[in-house]
Structure 1
Amino acid sequence: MKQFLSCVKKEFRHILRDMQTLLILLGMPVVLILIFGFALTTEVKNSKFAVLDFSKDASTRAIVNELDASRYFDQVAELHTQGEVEKMFHTGKARMVIIFPPSFASDLQHVNKAPVQIIADASDPNVATTLTGYASNIIMDYLDRYKQNRKLPFTIHTQVRMLYNPQLKGTYNFVPGVISMVLMLVCTMMTAITVVREKETGTMEVLLVSPVSPVKLVLAKAVPYALISFINIISILLLSVYILEVPIHGNLLLLLSESILFTLTCLSFGLLISTATNSQQMSMFISLTGLFLPTLMLSGFLFPIENMPVILQLISNIVPARWYYQIVRAVMIEGLPFSAVWKETLILSGMTVLLLFAALKNFKIRLA
């Protein structure tokens, strides 16, 4: 244990000697979280929705059929009780729920107006706004056709509710994504060059003949960056809550635990890259092209995964940031318990074990 702590202390000294890099590692999360508040408007297609129809008449069936026939929506379920609505959002099976009251048909025919409620998951405000706009337009198109050859002014009033993010703040969407990016940058990229740096400077031979075992040597490389990543997580959450006013609706301990798990996943990936390459440039290149860019493009942070081609949707399953992004959004924004994110947690745990095993297995005791 004493030998292991000595290696950890050595790594901390390496980091502290380079104050510019240390300032970047600690200052980058603050800069990103403060200036990354942009909104992207993208077309939303094939979004899943459910229907709670208490009326069950020809008009409601026609509206649902038009929604389902459009390229924007796919009906996934027909609900029977009000309690099923929350479950659809908790399980991620639907992004939107349409509710028709029992008197929809009679109100439309006799009172000339009828209410329709659209409930959308606003943890991603851009998608929620787009979906409710599409649904409202489709309903209005149906109303226009319904009013043909009728003198009475029939009207359908659409009532929209935005769950989890009523004010549609863009920060609710990009905060989980920024956390993913920061951890990927700090953990993976910086860890990816730590073993390679020893090879290039010629100090790896000295470390290999020391009493420290190769396993402890590799793990000691990751400890300082794990601590820096944890500091970054705390700083991002503090800035999110007190500066950007993004509340943590879920369990804080669960959120921190999931963040630590993702940190370990990124560290394991960085160690694997570090043991498989012989130059810092190659390590940085693989980290950027193999992890950072997929984190931006395939995690669901910038673009909804369901909008992507099937091949990219399949590839996104092997991007760790996709699962962590879903966890943070579910716990932090939607306030869901562990039972709602156990699958994502299990996937990240499996990735961590597999990557760490591969990194240790790939570490060469003898240098060529």
Structure 2
Amino acid sequence: MNRFIGFVKKEFYHIFRDRRSLFILFGMPIAQIMLFGFAITNEINNVDIAILDHSKDAVTQEIINKISASKYFSIKQLITREADIAPIFQKGHVKAVLNFEKDFSQKLIKAHGANVQIITDATDPNTANTISNYVNAILQQYQKEVNKEIVNSYQIVPQTRMVYNPELKSVYMFVPGVMTIILMLVSAMMTSISITREKELGTMEILLVSPLKPILVIVGKVFPYIFLSIINAIIIVVLSIFIFKMPVQGSLILLGMESVLFIITALALGILISTISATQQTAMMISLMGLMLPVILLSGFIFPITSMPLPLQIISNIIPAKWFIIIIKGIMLKGVGLQYIWKETLILIAMTIFFIALSVKKYKIRLE
């Protein structure tokens, strides 16, 4: 019995000495529960909206103040023309526009009814529905408060219009997200495992002391995966168009170039993972746990980023998938050109350069 107790103590000592084991045992569950607890929500908070007020009277101003005072919405912009609605949606600045009709207050008093149009960006149908329901709830609450003081009740009639996805097809949301997940995981995971395998077998040291520069060694290792990932991207787009009837409103050439850029970004991230991984198992674990959860939870694929706590919103900015989803939705669903997605494109380029530069530096250190 004493020998068994001694053996158990030895195993505890081994576990507590191994920082990676401790991280897996305690760090991963804590990280996962925090991510799932804060990121997974069907509620919306601080959603950016715009106001188009044709009436500009006391009643519309009171309604706007009530909407602004709620925790659900943040008034991003006041627009003056209906022609401004499409550009503001294409730029991705807002998720909804509230359009108050002309002479809103007079119609409410004389005809006992006035219309307000709720225009939502339905590229994310779940969020669009939630926004519409929340605005309706605020309007109904205001209507009840006003009708308490008058004999003939007023009726505010909300008219909902969904743009880019009027039928609220969920496939419009899932195809861009699934494409992003597949390209990220396949590119990053396969690259990291491939390079780590060379390290495990000892052949990477031979490559590093060869006449080839470290950058050429890295490019040579990842080039086949660039080609295979492009084939994957083409298959996904073809299936989404012909099987799921996903529209491509924008340029297919631009979509292809942005997809190649994201593939290279994912491959560069895979290279970086390989520099910090000693075994294929470690590389696979980092790729799956370190990439899959953030891509699903923090990219805006399923859950709106604006509804998350501020720390998670900040962290989401370093997730390449977030920017690619914005790009792909803009091209496929909104039909935008490079002038609307240049910022997201530059961010992906900067991330790619950073990942590659850091990876080359680490390999140079190994070589020295």
Give the equivalent residue in structure 2 for 1:251. Answer: 251
TM-fit CA distance, 1:60: 0.7
Give the equivalent residue in structure 1 for 2:57. Answer: 57
Distance 1:42 1:242 in 2: 31
TM-fit CA distance, 1:365: 8.0
Name structure 1 gaps, 5 residues minimum: 1-39
Question: Which aligned pairs between 1:189-268 and structure 2 lie closer than 5 A?
Answer: 189-208=189-208, 210-268=210-268
TM normalised by structure 2 equals: 0.85
Distance 1:156 1:364 in 2: 68
TM-fit CA distance, 1:152: 2.2
Change (3 A) 1:366 1:85: closer
Distance 2:134 2:325 in 1: 26
Per-residue CA deviation, residues 248-267 of structure 1 (Å, 9 max, x unaligned), is 11111111101100100011
Distance 2:270 2:193 in 1: 8
Are the counterparts in 2 of residues 214 and 365 from structure 1 also a CA contact under 8 Å?
A: no
Distance 1:195 1:356 in 2: 14
Distance 1:253 1:134 in 2: 39
TM-fit CA distance, 1:50: 1.3
Are the counterparts in 1 of residues 115 and 157 from structure 2 also a CA contact under 8 Å?
A: yes
TM-fit CA distance, 1:203: 2.8
Question: Which aligned pairs between 1:304-323 and structure 2 lie closer than 5 A?
Answer: 304-323=304-323
Question: Which aligned pairs between 1:274-313 and structure 2 lie closer than 5 A?
Answer: 274-313=274-313
Change (3 A) 1:365 1:110: closer
TM-fit CA distance, 1:364: 4.9
Distance 2:239 2:87 in 1: 31
Are the counterparts in 1 of residues 46 and 72 from structure 2 also a CA contact under 8 Å?
A: yes
TM-fit CA distance, 1:342: 0.2
Name structure 2 gaps, 5 residues minimum: 1-39
Per-residue CA deviation, residues 98-124 of structure 1 (Å, 9 max, x unaligned), is 111112111111111111111111111
Change (3 A) 1:205 1:96: closer
Distance 2:94 2:203 in 1: 55
Give the equivalent residue in structure 1 for 2:272. Answer: 272
Q: SS where residue 351 of structure 2 aligns?
A: helix
Give the equivalent residue in structure 2 for 1:106. Answer: 106
Distance 2:340 2:243 in 1: 28
- How many residue pairs get aligned? The number is 329
Give the equivalent residue in structure 2 for 1:358. Answer: 358
Distance 2:339 2:60 in 1: 34
Change (3 A) 1:366 1:354: closer
Distance 1:51 1:142 in 2: 17
Distance 2:96 2:157 in 1: 17
Distance 2:358 2:365 in 1: 14
- RMSD value, Cα: 1.8
Distance 2:142 2:300 in 1: 32
Give the equivalent residue in structure 1 for 2:163. Answer: 163
TM-fit CA distance, 1:155: 1.9
TM normalised by structure 1 equals: 0.85
TM-fit CA distance, 1:312: 1.0
TM-fit CA distance, 1:137: 1.6
Question: Which aligned pairs between 1:329-344 and structure 2 lie closer than 5 A?
Answer: 329-344=329-344
Distance 1:246 1:183 in 2: 18
Give the equivalent residue in structure 2 for 1:124. Answer: 124
Distance 1:92 1:218 in 2: 36
Deviating more after overlay: 318-327 vs 74-83: 74-83
Give the equivalent residue in structure 1 for 2:44. Answer: 44
Distance 1:101 1:205 in 2: 71
Per-residue CA deviation, residues 189-214 of structure 1 (Å, 9 max, x unaligned), is 11001121112223334434555443
Are the counterparts in 1 of residues 300 and 322 from structure 2 also a CA contact under 8 Å?
A: yes
Deviating more after overlay: 145-154 vs 340-349: 145-154
Distance 2:149 2:287 in 1: 64
Q: SS where residue 119 of structure 2 aligns?
A: strand
Question: Which aligned pairs between 1:59-74 and structure 2 lie closer than 5 A?
Answer: 59-74=59-74
